[in-house]
């Protein structure tokens, strides 16, 4: 009698777990097909009374659905995007803050899911040492047929695949400015187009147009090894880049391309918005 009761309780518990997981994803077939073998092992272990080691082996870590909350289309675009970003930043910027302004302008990169990509845990670096510390942990790869153009290896490989389909030249031809930059180079570009007064106006949210021309010191995606400036104007060039995970993500910055590592049809699932400006298609944050 005790054995029967124990089995009944056990199977009821497993049924409850399965029901909860299925309900949370809304996709019964996908969940069961993925977890079927381990779930069966768990049930088999539970049918053998007192085999606690087997139960512990198979039942304490049942697989969860790999359907990301960000791909649940009943959430708003901003909810899907924030759900993705909050798992990658140490602190989620507060609305209206300088960090929030930078996240809105340059944060599309945070939807990148490629395990080979390293993302910063903050939206900007404060100095050269912080930048160097981040870059020292990157695995870099060279862009073919260039002089000193390096990106994170996953991004470089993806760009090289696009370039194998069609020639895509760098904007200036100099890797140190078109590809991964130092903090000093980022600062030099900022001083070329703006100054400390402009930076203070950006911090206060009074000036945003400049962000399409140049990134504030420490905020450029080029510091992360995931952006490249190109002369990509033809449909064939753009198609090859899109097919390999590269997209324009900074509104009105036509030469600037960002490695998102996702097919185009998936970008909206992470909350990004497709915005057409003067005939150019950008994928921007929904903030």
Asked if residue 238 belongs to a domain, the reply is: yes
Instruction: Specify whether 153 is located in the same domain as 230.
Output: yes
Asked if residue 203 belongs to a domain, the reply is: yes
Asked if residue 43 belongs to a domain, the reply is: yes
Instruction: Specify whether 44 is located in the same domain as 126.
Output: no
CATH number at residue 94: 3.30.1380
Instruction: Specify whether 33 is located in the same domain as 112.
Output: no
Asked if residue 124 belongs to a domain, the reply is: yes
> Whole domain around residue 269: which residue ranges?
73-284
Instruction: Specify whether 9 is located in the same domain as 102.
Output: no
Instruction: Specify whether 53 is located in the same domain as 121.
Output: no
Task: Please tell me the pTM assigned to this model.
Answer: 0.74
* Cβ 166 vs Cβ 237: under 8 Å: yes
Asked if residue 148 belongs to a domain, the reply is: yes
Task: Render each residue's pLDDT in the chain as its tens digit; 287 residues.
Answer: 544 444 444 445 444 444 444 444 444 334 333 443 443 444 344 333 333 344 344 344 433 334 444 445 688 999 999 999 998 999 999 999 999 999 999 999 999 999 999 999 999 999 999 999 999 999 999 999 998 999 999 999 999 999 999 999 999 988 889 999 999 999 999 999 999 999 999 999 999 999 999 999 999 999 999 999 999 999 999 999 999 999 999 999 999 999 999 999 999 999 999 999 999 999 999 99
Instruction: Specify whether 177 is located in the same domain as 251.
Output: yes
Which one of 10, 32, 59 terminates a domain?
59
Instruction: Specify whether 94 is located in the same domain as 222.
Output: yes
Instruction: Specify whether 122 is located in the same domain as 49.
Output: no
Instruction: Specify whether 171 is located in the same domain as 132.
Output: yes
Instruction: Specify whether 22 is located in the same domain as 114.
Output: no
Asked if residue 279 belongs to a domain, the reply is: yes
Domain count of the chain? 2
Which one of 12, 33, 59 terminates a domain?
59
Asked if residue 280 belongs to a domain, the reply is: yes
Q: Which long-range contacts (CB under 8 A, 24 or more apart) does 111-116 make?
A: 111/70, 111/81, 111/84, 111/260, 111/262, 111/267, 111/270, 111/271, 111/272, 112/226, 112/259, 112/260, 112/261, 112/262, 113/261, 113/262, 114/154, 114/245, 114/261, 116/152, 116/153, 116/154
Instruction: Specify whether 111 is located in the same domain as 54.
Output: no
Asked if residue 189 belongs to a domain, the reply is: yes
Instruction: Specify whether 109 is located in the same domain as 251.
Output: yes
């Amino acid at each position: 009698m005790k054995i029967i009761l124990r089995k009944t309780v056990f199977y009821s518990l497993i049924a409850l777990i399965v029901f909860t997981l299925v309900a949370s994803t809304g996709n019964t077939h996908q969940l069961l097909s993925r977890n079927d073998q381990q779930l069966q092992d768990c049930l088999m272990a539970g049918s053998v009374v007192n085999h606690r080691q087997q139960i512990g082996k198979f039942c304490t870590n049942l697989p969860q659905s790999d359907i990301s909350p960000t791909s649940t289309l009943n959430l708003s675009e901003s909810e899907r995007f924030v759900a993705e970003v909050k798992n990658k930043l140490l602190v989620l910027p507060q609305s209206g803050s300088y960090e929030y302004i930078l996240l809105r302008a340059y944060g599309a990169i945070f939807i990148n899911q490629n395990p080979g990509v390293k993302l910063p845990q903050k939206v900007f670096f404060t100095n050269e040492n912080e930048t160097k510390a981040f870059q020292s942990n990157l695995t870099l790869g060279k862009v073919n047929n260039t002089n000193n153009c390096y990106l994170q290896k996953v991004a470089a490989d993806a760009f090289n695949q696009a370039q194998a389909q069609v020639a895509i030249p760098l904007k200036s031809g100099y890797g140190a400015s078109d590809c991964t930059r130092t903090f000093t180079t980022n600062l030099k570009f900022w001083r070329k187009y703006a100054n400390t007064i402009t930076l203070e106006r950006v911090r206060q949210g009074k000036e945003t147009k400049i962000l399409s021309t140049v990134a504030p010191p420490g905020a450029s995606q080029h510091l992360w090894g995931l952006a490249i400036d190109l002369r990509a104007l033809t449909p064939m060039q753009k198609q090859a880049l899109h097919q390999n995970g590269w997209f324009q993500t900074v509104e009105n910055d036509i030469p600037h391309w960002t490695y998102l590592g996702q097919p185009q049809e998936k970008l909206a699932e992470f909350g990004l918005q497709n915005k057409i400006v003067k005939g150019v298609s950008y994928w921007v944050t929904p903030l």
